[in-house]
Amino acid sequence: MHSRTWMAALVMGMSAWTVGGAGELSGWIAVEGRGFLNEPLYRGQDRDNASIAAQPEYYHTWENGSSFTFVPFGRADTADSRRTHADIRELNYLYRQDNWFIRMGVGKVFWGATEFVHLVDIINQTDLIEHIDGEDKLGQPMLEFSISPSWGTLDFFLMPYFRERTFPGRGGRLRTSRVVDLDDTIYESSSEERNIDIAARYSRTVGGLDFGVYVFRGTSRDPLLATPDLVPPELIDPEDVNDYKLIPFYEQINQFGADVQYASGNWLWKLEAYFRNGYFQDYFAATGGFEYTFVGVAGSNADMGLLCEYAYNDRDDGGQTIFQNDLFLGMRMTPNDAASTHLLVGFAQDTEKSENAFSIEASRRFGANWRLILDAWFFLDSAGDSVLHELRDDDFARLELAYYF
Amino acid sequence: MRCKVRVLLPLYITMVVALTAPASAGEATSPEERGLAIAREADRLSSGYGDSTANLRMVLRNREGLTSERELRIRTLEVEGEGTRSLCIFDTPADVKGTILLTHTHKQADDDQWLFLPATRRIRRIAAQNKSGSFMGSEFSYEDIAVQELEKYTYRWLADEPYDGNDCYVIERVPVDRVNSGYCRQVAWLDKEHYRTWKVDYYDRKNELLKTLTFKGYEKHLDRFWRARQMEMVNHQTGKSTFLTWSNLSFRTGLKEIDFDRHSLTLLR
């Protein structure tokens, strides 16, 4: 984010503080250490890293139901200069009436149902450098209008500015052998990041079923990472490329997506799918599966969820899509204790090549304000031509201690 | 919606009274009829508040006496003929601040429940029709905190006896959905004057006494509705307990069905 944007954010935040109504400040500050099992594979990488991050949140609400939210975020990292970064996660004004609202500013929206692959979520760009799970998102400048007549909810989005995906720098782990060059990003749109993206979504709940369908038109959030020989020649400036980097190419897409959750008894069924019409090809992707919950395992207070999902993607991109034909198995343990302990174990297996990965995510609270989070990822086996293969020596464990206020 | 509730209310009351009349609490013959009549009267007396908002403080105490606290805001809305909508918005502990549990209870069908996680903005369906799990690590399970729809139990009158200075009916209620309940039965003490619940004993699936819930500090609202300010749930098998204190209780605040819509979870704080 530019310093000008930051200043504007600060001024807006300060002014909201002073004009009456009720405001509150909350948020978290955390220290994190990541330890890697193996020596780094690529030149310039540090073996391990430590970092500190904070995400305060200021929320102000007025009598008429409108509200202002400001959520800045920042991290300082010892190994990767790119991971030392800041972002405005949210900075928006919400005006709400009975069955409609308008939200203006930087916002965050999630669409989707499945646990392992977040396929249809498209409004916000992934802050990939934060965590490889892709669940951290960059703030998206937008104007949102939402109306809920009796027959469902309609949301309309106008997104005037595009956020590029973050990628690890030379010093960071969990990267491809070639560093992604963020200075020479190529856009299909001549307006580049100022292309105006639009989206419309209809969602509804009917009994145990929640579903949403949407159309998105604009800049794809998933870049194609191109070596010079893959970039369309008419889009390339020969001076910008060399053999040692990857160039992100953001195409213009039309995407039709759907997400469904259906609950029945202790079963939860989930499905996400989209059809994308892009620069090189049109393709289809889907992911879906179920979660079955056992309540009160072995007479205890604990719940156990068993997850099974499958991801399919027919994009032909030379192995850049990690999950093209993969089966996911997972187990969620919730002891329902006073410390809100949570454990999620996941295993991914490619059904076409001998490629698999394993992850553990666990957390619990200490006292009233502290939370300890442990997660570990193991890239067990990988085939020679994929992104996962480039991460083969990046098995890691991450420990985070966060203070919430 | 508020208008609709008002218009429908007299009709509803007439209907319930008509249904209750043939087997009113005093005259019913079999213990089952008598139990149902008592439960129905208690339900009638506590229905018709429209909507309510309240703050809830939970103190969890373990066997060693160590305590931890949670604070939440609760909003409920009666929906005529359908059941109840409720929102639990968590304020503390700080790491779960902004987490929201939305429940649509239905008189006949399975309840619908969603959890909103503010960090990722995700709304996750909860697919556990089995409601025996602990709510927030407390001694209250989801079925204990859910609004007790009359249709979800069968009833039996057991005795008339005094409890804490009040003449009480003692009734047994057995969950209709036995598979998904943590209890084989509950025994409740309701006073004869206002049908307020003073004590509930919960028996586990092996029919052993598991928990006891007691109510204190009943106050009358809107000249009609009795609500306890304090509740304590003691687990006899683990020695743990949970103490609830209600405050800032308001009724008929103008909440609408749209406020309890899945989509509006993303707008609440």
Per-residue pLDDT tens digits for B178-210: 888 889 999 999 999 999 999 999 999 899 999
Region A54-66 average pLDDT: 92
A266/B136 touch (CB, cutoff 8 Å), yes or no? no
Q: Residue B227: CB partners within 8 Å, gap ≥ 6?
A: B218, B219, B221, B246, B249
Residue A22 reports pLDDT greater than 70? yes
For B142, phi and psi rounded to 5 degrees? Answer: -60, -35
From chain A, pick out residues whose CB is under 8 angstroms from the CB of B133: 295-296, 301, 303, 336
B95/A404 touch (CB, cutoff 8 Å), yes or no? yes
A263/B120 touch (CB, cutoff 8 Å), yes or no? no
Looking at the partner chain, which of B62, B120, B182 has a beta carbon nearest the beta carbon of A110?
B120
Higher-scoring residue by pLDDT: A338, B171: B171
From chain A, pick out residues whose CB is under 8 angstroms from the CB of B109: 207
Region A152-163 average pLDDT: 97
| Complex confidence, ipTM | 0.90
For chain B, the domains span 2-267
In angstroms, the CA A177 to CA A246 distance is 9
A148/B263 touch (CB, cutoff 8 Å), yes or no? yes
A296/B133 touch (CB, cutoff 8 Å), yes or no? yes
Q: Which residue carries 């003449």 as its tokens?
A: B167
Short-list B145, B137, B142, CA closest to B240: B137
Q: Residue A4: CB partners within 8 Å, gap ≥ 6?
A: none
* Residues B85/B104, Cβ–Cβ less than 8 Å: yes
Q: How many CA atoms within 13 Å lie on the side-chain side of B172?
A: 12
* Residues B114/B138, Cβ–Cβ less than 8 Å: no
Chain B: residues touching A (Cβ < 8 Å): 60, 62, 68-69, 92-97, 109-110, 112, 114, 120-134, 136-137, 180, 182, 256, 258, 261-264, 266-267, 269
* Highest-confidence segment of A70-74, A277-281, B141-145, B262-266: A70-74
Mutate to test the interface with B, among A135, A210, A262 (most CBs of B within 10 A): A210
Looking at the partner chain, which of B120, B129, B137 has a beta carbon nearest the beta carbon of A266?
B129
From chain B, pick out residues whose CB is under 8 angstroms from the CB of A99: 258
B263/A153 touch (CB, cutoff 8 Å), yes or no? yes
From chain A, pick out residues whose CB is under 8 angstroms from the CB of B131: 295
From chain B, pick out residues whose CB is under 8 angstroms from the CB of A94: 267
Q: How many CB pairs under 8 A join A and B?
A: 109
From chain A, pick out residues whose CB is under 8 angstroms from the CB of B182: 296
pLDDT range class, residue A228, cuts 50, 70, 90: low
The pLDDT value recorded for residue A35 is 97
Region A90-97 average pLDDT: 95
The pLDDT value recorded for residue A327 is 96
Measure in Å the smallest separation between the Cα of A114 and chain B Cα atoms: 9
Flag the least confident range among A173-182, A187-196, A296-305. A296-305
Give residue-wise pLDDT tens across range A272-288: 999 999 998 899 999 99
B137/A99 touch (CB, cutoff 8 Å), yes or no? no
For residue B252, count CB atoms less than 10 angstroms from its CB and return exposed for 0-12, middle for 13-18, buried for 19 or more.
Answer: middle
In angstroms, the CA A129 to CA B26 distance is 70
In angstroms, the CA A276 to CA A257 distance is 8
Measure in Å the smallest separation between the Cα of A401 and chain B Cα atoms: 12
Q: How many helices (H) and strands (E) does chain B have?
A: 3, 13
The structure's pTM equals: 0.88
The single-letter code of the amino acid at B195 is Y
* Residues A347/A358, Cβ–Cβ less than 8 Å: yes
From chain A, pick out residues whose CB is under 8 angstroms from the CB of B93: 340, 365, 368-369, 404
In angstroms, the CA A345 to CA B56 distance is 34
Looking at the partner chain, which of A109, A263, A266 has a beta carbon nearest the beta carbon of B130?
A266
The pLDDT value recorded for residue A229 is 65
A112/B122 touch (CB, cutoff 8 Å), yes or no? yes
Mutate to test the interface with A, among B63, B92, B263 (most CBs of A within 10 A): B263
From chain A, pick out residues whose CB is under 8 angstroms from the CB of B124: 261
The pLDDT value recorded for residue B11 is 42
Measure in Å the smallest separation between the Cα of B236 and chain A Cα atoms: 15
Q: Does A108 touch chain B (CB under 8 A)?
A: yes
Give residue-wise pLDDT tens across range A31-42: 999 999 999 998
According to DSSP, the β-strands at A245-250 and A186-187 are parallel
A337/B137 touch (CB, cutoff 8 Å), yes or no? yes
A261/B125 touch (CB, cutoff 8 Å), yes or no? yes
The pLDDT value recorded for residue A232 is 62
Burial pattern A350-386, b for ≥16 Cβ within 10 A else e, equals beebebbbebebebbbeeeebbebebbbbbeebeeeb
CATH placement of domain B2-267? 2.50.20.10
Looking at the partner chain, which of A101, A268, A368 has a beta carbon nearest the beta carbon of B127?
A268
Dihedral-angle region of residue A134 (phi above 0 means left; psi in -120 to 50 means alpha; beta otherwise): left
CATH architecture type of domain A3-404: Beta Barrel (2.40)
Residues 331-360 of A with CB under 8 A from B: 336-340
Give residue-wise pLDDT tens across range B121-152: 999 998 767 778 888 889 998 888 877 788 88
Short-list A207, A212, A247, A209, CA closest to A227: A247
Mutate to test the interface with A, among B60, B92, B110, B125 (most CBs of A within 10 A): B125
Residues 49-68 of A with CB under 8 A from B: 59, 61, 67
Give residue-wise pLDDT tens across range B45-74: 988 999 999 999 999 999 999 999 999 999
In angstroms, the CA A95 to CA A62 distance is 10
The pLDDT value recorded for residue B26 is 52
Distance between alpha carbon A402 and the CA centroid of its chain, in Å? 20
From chain A, pick out residues whose CB is under 8 angstroms from the CB of B263: 146, 148, 153, 203
For chain A, the domains span 3-404
The pLDDT value recorded for residue B23 is 44
